[in-house]
Structure 1
Amino acid sequence: MGYYVAVEPGVNIYVEDVNPTGRKTILFVHGWPANHHLFEYQFNVLPAMGYRCIGIDIRGFGKSDKPFGNYTYNQLANDVRVIVEVLGLHDFTLAGHSVGGAIVTRYMAKHQGFGVAKLALIGAAAPSVTKRSYFPGGIEKKEVTKLIHGVYEDRPAMLVNFTEKFFYQPISKPFSDWFLQLGFAASGYATAKVAKTFRDEELFHDLSHILVPTLILHGKHDEVCRPALATALHKGIKQSKLVWFEHSGHGLFWEERDKFNRELAEFVR
């Protein structure tokens, strides 16, 4: 079922809640520039295994409200905190893909992992998407700046190009068309502002605050959040397990979905 949670006056976040009576809860936070539908191939399977799967559309994306203002990791993590409180979640698994992985990383640090029993980082945009003097494993900042310019100049073309980079395995034209619609459901300004956030912010100091068992799932061929990010996360998070997906890019939850669903289900159990 779907409903809205007010995270602040005038800002409502859309929540898709599948199998609310499930024995274990997984709260999914999607990546840029999509929405909760990104996890369709998990929501098709995991609820039938007895799990409650909750997907949210972060502010500015999907069915959620699209305020013009703040899209920092702090703000997005604060939104998650309100949702956790309103839904009364406890002892749940918090799972984030790409930018969603960065948001949940900040949540663990800023909100002391409130209610979280386990953490899953999926092709996470953490600790830094872009290269820094102390972290050469990211992409060049100018690549993200190009994405931002693309949002403002020709967002459909930008999304087409990003889709081509997202997957390592071939995808069908109908699937590509469906995937593009996820990006079109966002506002342009939110798309650009979140891109600025993952270009400019980093989360190295957040990692030591993650004190729960953490599963890191990452595609070996990821060109969006490069494999060096997963290695850095594994090094920085004490109770972490890193699982590589040998035949995947950034879309490992679809490209190797059977393995992905199995690894996640076994971790949550």
Structure 2
Amino acid sequence: MSSSFFTVSDGTKIFYKDWGQGQPVLFSHGWPLTADAWDGQMLALLNEGYRVIAHDRRGHGRSSQTFEGNTMDQYADDLAELIDHLDLQELILVGHSTGGGEVARYIGRHGSTRVAKAVLVGAVPPLMLKTPQNPEGLPIEVFDDIRKGVTDNRSQFFMDLSKKFYGFNRMMHKTVDGTCDSFWLQGMMGGIKAEYDCIEQFSETDFTEDLKKMDIPTLLIHGSDDQIVPIIASSIEAVKFIPNAELKVYEGAPHGLPQTHAEKFNADLLEFFGAESKITAGRNKGRLSEQISSQHH
């Protein structure tokens, strides 16, 4: 098992990495990144005995630079085909940002038969766009600006966006150039048409009904200072719709917390993966079980 390409039913080639043995954990990346965004998690979990898998969403990274099919439904169907192709069982799904939407839509469309648990990190559900029914959402102008940035000078836009993505525009955070360079490089690997199309998908897709179908233990993690997907319109709302969910807020953390807070994030993942369920969680040590116990009572 290493890295490979898999062809989905419409002919699109999806790049994925598949390392190790044990319970499978599949990672879905955010926009405009690639599977490489999960390097810090893949290595850590591999060393803990998990099988780790991450793919490049269609139009992103090393996958085909698709002209058509750049929709949330298709992303979810691609994921389903990959999961079926690898015949994954007792799977743990981890989705960041747009990838969190992909995970929710996958369960909404394909059910949770193969899934044991899910983690949504800085995820876009239930709906990012401000509407009369979603007053805390972001106005359409925010997403129009992203479209303009991608259209006018994608390279410069990604470099600028990386600062906000990782909170490096805040006085208390020192800019890590390598982190920004990696963001830029991953973004520039993708096809501009697919990345442009994806903006509408992550901003205007309503995942409310998908969240209600997430009938497996689900952990939501979000930074309180997420400037890309503000927590008030996303995880604060999403946790209300998922039957068996818990929300962990990282105080002062940015959108790209899997990179900036990797040690804490990885520890929380391992703790959640190890917890059998809400019923048995009290037997496990650590902060997560205490939070679950207090919720349970």
Structure 2 match to 1:232: 237
Conserved? CA contact 1:247–1:255, under 8 Å:
no
Q: TM-score, normalised by structure 2?
A: 0.87
Structure 2 match to 1:196: 200
Conserved? CA contact 2:158–2:183, under 8 Å:
no
Conserved? CA contact 2:18–2:51, under 8 Å:
yes
Structure 1 match to 2:226: 222
Structure 2 match to 1:103: 102
Structure 2 match to 1:3: 4
Shift of 1:162: 1.3
Which has the larger displacement, 78-87 or 142-151? Answer: 142-151
Amino acid in the other structure paired with 1:239? N
Conserved? CA contact 2:66–2:191, under 8 Å:
no
Conserved? CA contact 1:247–1:256, under 8 Å:
no
Structure 1 match to 2:18: 17
Shift of 1:202: 1.3
Q: 1:251 aligns with which of 253, 256, 267?
A: 256
Instruction: Name the larger-Rg structure.
Output: 2
Shift of 1:137: 2.2
Tell me the alpha carbon deviations over residues 25-75 of structure 1, each in whole angstroms, 9 at most, x when there is no partner.
110000000000111111221100111110000000011111200211111
Structure 2 match to 1:58: 57
Q: How many residues align?
A: 267
Shift of 1:175: 2.5
Gaps of 5+ in 1: none
Alignment of 1:56-135 (within 5 A): 56-135=55-134
Q: 2:190 aligns with which of 177, 186, 192?
A: 186
Q: Secondary structure of 1:16's match?
A: strand
User: Aligned-pair RMSD on alpha carbons?
Assistant: 1.2
Tell me the alpha carbon deviations over residues 153-172 of structure 1, each in whole angstroms, 9 at most, x when there is no partner.
11112112211210123332
Q: Secondary structure of 1:43's match?
A: helix
Gaps of 5+ in 2: 168-172, 275-297
Tell me the alpha carbon deviations over residues 146-192 of structure 1, each in whole angstroms, 9 at most, x when there is no partner.
11121111111211221121012333223211221010011111110
Q: Percent of aligned positions with the same letter in both sequences?
A: 30
Q: 1:206 aligns with which of 206, 210, 224?
A: 210
Q: TM-score, normalised by structure 1?
A: 0.96
